[in-house]
Every structure is written in structure tokens, then in C-alpha cells.
Amino acid sequence: MTDSTSELNRLAEGLALAPQAFMQPPKETSTFVIFGASGDLTHRKLIPALYNLACAKMLPEGFHVVGFAVTPMDDATFREEMRKAVQKSKEVTEFRESVWNDFAQGLHYITADFEAPEGYERLQKLLAEIKTEHQVPDNRLYYLAIPPSFCRLVTEKLGEHNLVSPTGKQGEGWTRLIVEKPFGHDIASAQDLNAHIHKVFKEEQIYRIDHYLGKETVQNLMAFRFANSIIEPIWSRRYVDHVQITAAETLGVEHRGLYYEEAGCLRDMFQNHLIQILAIIGMEPPVRYGGSSVRDRKADVLRSIVPINPENLVEIAVRGQYGAGKAEGVVVPGYREEQGVNPKSNIETFVALKLFVDNWRWSEVPFYLRSGKRMNTKVTEIVIQFKRVPHMFFQLSQDDVMEPNQLIIRIAPDEGISLRFGAKVPGPSMRLRPVQMNFSYSETFNVQPATAYETLLLDAMEGDATLFNRNDAVELAWDVLEPLLEIWSATRPFHPFPNYAAGSWGPTGADQLMLKDGRSWRNPPDAPLLSRVNLENGHGGGTHV
């Protein structure tokens, strides 16, 4: 490794970024009640995340899990089901028999219909038994891993059966509620759901979960901005040309055809994930890292987004639907051929948007957002593209490539940060090429980042709502997208669906959205981020400096 590479790596590793090693177990234990515990989310995410926390000794003594669902099971059957789920989970690196045996002792299950009072009476009795037999505080964390249509019913039943304490504070026998997305179907339904939940739970007891906000790199975005004096001064309209946010998936809708026919890409990805990332990118420095302060600043950004003009949609929005093609080398069907999908469906599986944040920091800086199914590469990343230098006085040849500086923040699949800048090619003549300095989270800290659900569940146990959505933020996000939702639901696509092939980077209209502004999407190569400096040839390859 050369001296220049070593210096740049030391610079990358010196940036203020928070490894998992500093996480601490909650100060108080609690009982974690999962409504809908027989479902997919519990199998794939919740129990594997809790097991990982058990392996890392991050669960407090006396921690219990109660599954509540209509599928008939007893404690032993539930424990065996969860064991199988953990053993085959891709998010669990190692299955340890001793850890599982200890963890499984705290797993319980109640077979009950969400409407029937008997189930809630049994839950009340079980919670009392856990408190008495294990001498633990009466702290309850309810998780609604259920369809949105049941959220109102379950919260009402919890209130009717006195299963909710009046506080969410530590040391006072607290009760908290975690609500999964989608939070409403539009702004009216979101406001209605908020109003009904508030009849039983106070706002400070409600944790609206968005797993994107639990990813290490999304959190590191705040650390990267606000803990490094070389970054924050250039994070504004004075230096930034535009921002790109991409969330691309190679998978289709799989077994979620019925859900996707109701939701579509705009509701599924933009109202929560992408709009929240935009808010973190655009927010002003909070007074402190804490629930209210951070969430206040995020809400300020959402209030500053320029409303979508229905008369100007062709200039700012593109929708698409995938047809048949190849994904990862395998021939796959189009969206309309997927199970549960209307053969004439006009539901979008791809969206690209251009939004503006009308405030002092970001005025006239476009934010380009895109997300789609059956894309070329699975990747979620943020690109901050800086303005070109005002005058290039070097005498460059046709072979020289000078591209704008880019800061690339990779959220998935390999979390890291990359910085592209210009450098001289070794030799007697002045020839320039872009070089790339890359920081890989796993390589630098020699650990795999905690999964998003591990982080968020721990925060909920601690009563830290920083990474959860507040009611006003949810409603503001719906408010941004409502005009687009109304028009797209009432009109046919301008270009007939399907309008992009599986395995591509989406419809050509998305490229035109940027090309007419003299810009282009960054379509990431498959190569992972590495902790080294690469000398690129302008097409993603190159030699090492």
C-alpha cells in the first residue's frame, strides 16, 4: 500500500462514525408483546433481531416475549417455530444452542382472535404472572406486526382491558407501542389512525417504525455531517449541485402482489423511507441528539418541500411498471403476470421524483429520488454531487476525464462512504482522472453493523424515539405526495405499461428527468466499497494509486 493510500485511509477511518461496540443493554427489562406473531415479519425480522441481541448480551435480565395471533400454537410449538426461523435467517451469523435455550425460556404464545376479549384477558393474566414469578418491572412494549386495518382495533382493546399504563417513562411501569408501516393509506387515513391511537396512547408512547432509519449508515449520515468540521460548511446550495437518493431492488413483488396492488411504489417506498432520508440530508443541526430535537429539525425540512404542482407533473415525476426480462441472469415475468396482480394493472413499480426544499440552505438545489422493483442492481445509496470548479485552467486532452466531485453514501448492501475527486495521473504530463476514496464500515471496524431492527428495538426499550417517526412527520410526508397520488390514481400512465424491462435501470423517462437538467443518474457498479483509493478510468474500473 502506498503512502498516499495510507493517508487517505487514515482520514476515512478518522471520520466520526459510531460502531456497534458502544451499544449498551437497556437499563430496565420489559415484556415484548407481538401482535401478529405467526406472521412473516416475526419470523424474518423480529425474533432473529432479538436473538442477535441475546447473542451480544444486549437483552436485560428477565426479558420476555409474548406472541399473540390467531394461528393455533402453544408455547412449545411457538418456540420450535421461532427456532427454525432463527436457524434459517440470513441476518443471524451463528446459531448458538446455549444462547437459544436461555432466550427460548422467555418465549410465550397466546392463541386468540384480535376481536375476542378472552385473548386480552389471558394476556393480562400472563403479564401479571411474569411480573410476579420473575420479579420484573411491569414494563410493556407492544409491537403491531399486523395489517393496518387491525391497528385501531387492537389499540382500542388494549385500552378497554386496562393493558396500557399512562406513561412511557423509565422507572414508572411504562407502556409503549410500536406501529409498522404503512401508517395510513393517504393523509386522511393517517390523521384518522393517529386520532384513534391517541385515544389510548399518548404521542410520547408511540413509536412509528421505519427500518431504513435504523440502518447504521443512515445514522452515520448525521455523525458524518455534524461531527466533522470539513463536511458541514459545504453541505448547502453554495457548493452542492444536486442530491440523488436511489433505492433499487432486483426482486419483483414476489408473494406481495395483493399488497402492492393497494400500495404501489409511491406509498411503499417514498412516503416513509425516501422522504425520511431526504429529511435527514436536509435537516439543520439539532440542539442535541435526542428525540424531540432531531425530529423537530426533520419536520422543518418536510414543511419546506415545495408542493407538487399537478400542472407540472411531466417535469418532476415519472412512473413505471416492469415487464418481463432478466434479473440476475434469470428470466422473470412482468408485474402483470405476478401472483395476485390484475393483468391490466396500472400500479407503478417504479417512481422517480424531482423535489425542491425551499429554505435558506437548499433553495434551488434539486433532490432526485427514485425507487423501483426488478432493477439492474440491488442498492440503496445517497449521492451528493458538488458543483464544478468555476474555471478549469488545466490544458486537458480528449483522454482526460474530469467529473464533478461526488460524495456517495451507501446504505445497502455494503454500508460505507465514498468520495470522488480529481487527481493527477503519475507521469511527466498534466493528465487528470477522478480517484475514489472509499470507507467500508465492516472493514474499518471489523464488525458487521447491527441490523436495523436490532437498533430500533433497543431504542424503543430505552425510550429513545430519535429514529422513529412522529405523527406530524407522517402527515407531512403524506401531504407532500397527496397531489401525485390523486392524479395517478385517476389517470392512465402517459406511456403505456409496462414501460421498462426487468433487469434495467427503469423507464427512459427517468433518465430524461435528469438529462433535461444537464445531469444524469449514478447507476452503481456491482463492486463493493473497499477501504482503498482507486484511480478510475471514468467507467468504474481502473488501477490502484
Which residues are marked as active site? 273
Spatial neighbors of 33 by CB under 8 A, at least 6 apart, are 65, 66, 68, 123, 127, 140, 141, 142, 143
DSSP string, 152-213: HHHHHHHHHTT---S--STTS--EEEEEPSP--SSHHHHHHHHHHHHTTS-GGGEEE--GGG
In this structure, are residues 528 and 414 in contact, taking their beta carbons and an 8 Å threshold? yes
Which grid coordinates belong to 200? 389510548
- Identify the residue whose cell numbers are 397531489: 483
The type of residue at 462 is: E
| Beta strand pairing call for 206-208 and 175-179 | parallel
What stretch of H or E contains 433?
strand 432-440
What is d(CA 439, CA 418) in angstroms, rounded to the nearest whole number?
A: 6
User: Residue 149: which of 185, 178, 117, 121 has the closest Cα?
Assistant: 185
For residue 533, the cross-strand partners are 437
What is d(CA 451, CA 174) in angstroms, rounded to the nearest whole number?
A: 25
Spatial neighbors of 133 by CB under 8 A, at least 6 apart, are none
Residue 253, CA distances (Å) to 250, 268, 351, 484 in order: 10, 11, 15, 22
Helix axis angle for 452-462 and 47-55, nearest 10°, is: 80
The type of residue at 333 is: P
- Strands (DSSP E) contained in 449-499 are none
Burial class (CB in 10 A: 0-12, 13-18, 19+), 344: exposed
What is d(CA 1, CA 56) in angstroms, rounded to the nearest whole number?
A: 34
Q: Is the peptide bond before 498 cis (omega within 30 degrees of 0)?
A: yes
DSSP string, 327-359: ETTEEE--GGGSTT--TT----SEEEEEEEB-S
